[in-house]
Structure 1
Amino acid sequence: MVSPATAKIRAVLFDRDGTLVVDVPYNGNPALVRPVPGAREVLDALRARGIATGVVSNQSGIARGLISEDDVASVNARVEELLGPFDVWEVCPHSDQDNCSCRKPAPGMVHSACRKLGIDESEAVLIGDIGADVLAAEAAGATGVLVPTPVTRAEEVAAARLVARDLAGAVGLLREAP
């Protein structure tokens, strides 16, 4: 893993639920989307610095028949309406049992996002609220930053190399050294 202090960061990818927006399990209703405090400001600051932004999100509710791909697209559209445009979206519609290469902690969505952005994985950071987010980043060769919430397990916090209290703190860890 390249240190965020020495790497040129060209993109910050975010987990959606619990990281950018308040987690509503299997949310298919755009009216329930609520950004986490400070998310818009953090995203605007990254965009102003010319850093690409993206979302990588497990949505197993699709595989389970709890929500549709259209539901997820509607929720994602609402996220963009509230938080501004993202350069790339990656959604895994599979469940744990599908053994796909995209579902976090697998690195597939990170690889795909970086390919679409035309960057090397070492130039990307993935910020998320659970260990699977950090593991996906590291498996892809990107930097992972954990922003714990009440659902984050203590062992996930202990295992993470970079941990921040909130999104602003996570991005603060990424500032390039002078």
Structure 2
Amino acid sequence: MNNAIFMDRDGTINIDKNYVHNINNFFFIDNVIDAMVTLKEMNFFLIIVTNQSGIARGLFTQNDFLLLTKWMIAYLGMYYHVYIDAIYFCPHHTQGIMKKFQRACLCRKPNPGMLLDAKKRFNINMITSYMVGDTEDDMLAGQLAGVGTKVLVCSGKKITKKTKKTANWVIESLAFLPNMIRTQHGYTKYTNVF
């Protein structure tokens, strides 16, 4: 079985500027790319799981999201040799104005659908994996999917005491995750078996 880092996007990987959907508005949070490089070296699958209700709300199109995603993947691969194993996104929202996406679903976090799909596809050991995000919904999705460690980052939304209680770890940024894993689990190289 494989170990994964499930990552939210806005507020976790890039600065959350409300419904980011084009390259000009997309800025990586300091040092998160270096962290991704290290996490890949530690043999983790990197899987992005992101709610994108802006599609349902008519603020941008699914194609806008896909174009930005292709650019992000190419940028990370070309300049940093970081390979993102998969990106799952939920375009749905019950209050959306785009009929095609106006519905309740199992993929929108806090529902665990995106994580469970990835689990099947990549044969992931959820207990030895991590869910990283900046909201309670991220933590709850991780919990419902059976992810062993929920990691709340302070680089996005304002965090309440209630939200902190949903996480196993609270760290400043995804940038600190590799060192946190090493410190907490006491090894320098991750393998597929603990």
- Normalised-by-shorter TM-score class: 0.7 to 0.9
1:75 shift after superposition = 1.5
Identity rate of aligned residues, in percent? Answer: 31
Matches within 5 A, 1:60-139: 60-83=53-76, 84-97=82-95, 98-139=103-144
Higher Cα Rg: structure 1 or 2? 2
| Structure 1 residues 119 and 158: CA distance shift in structure 2, 3 A | closer
Whether the 8 Å CA contact 2:51–2:109 is kept in 1: the answer is: yes
Residue of structure 1 in register with 2:51 after alignment: 58
1:110-163 Cα deviation digits (max 9, x unpaired): 111222212132232110011111110011000210002362331212442211
| Structure 1 residues 159 and 124: CA distance shift in structure 2, 3 A | closer
Whether the 8 Å CA contact 2:139–2:166 is kept in 1: the answer is: no
Residue correspondences, number: 171
Picking from 130, 136, 150, the partner of 1:144 is: 150
For 1:164 and 1:71, locate their aligned partners in 2 and report how far apart those are by CA, in whole Å: 31
Residue of structure 2 in register with 1:39 after alignment: 32
Letter in 2 for 1:177: G
1:33 shift after superposition = 1.1
1:18 matched to 2:11? The reply is: yes
1:70 shift after superposition = 0.8
Tell me, which stretches of 5 or more residues in structure 2 are unaligned?
77-81, 96-102, 188-194
The TM-score, its normalising length taken from structure 1, stands at 0.87
Picking from 162, 169, 172, the partner of 2:179 is: 172
Alpha-carbon RMSD across the aligned residues, in angstroms, is 1.9
Whether the 8 Å CA contact 1:131–1:156 is kept in 2: the answer is: yes
Whether the 8 Å CA contact 2:2–2:125 is kept in 1: the answer is: no
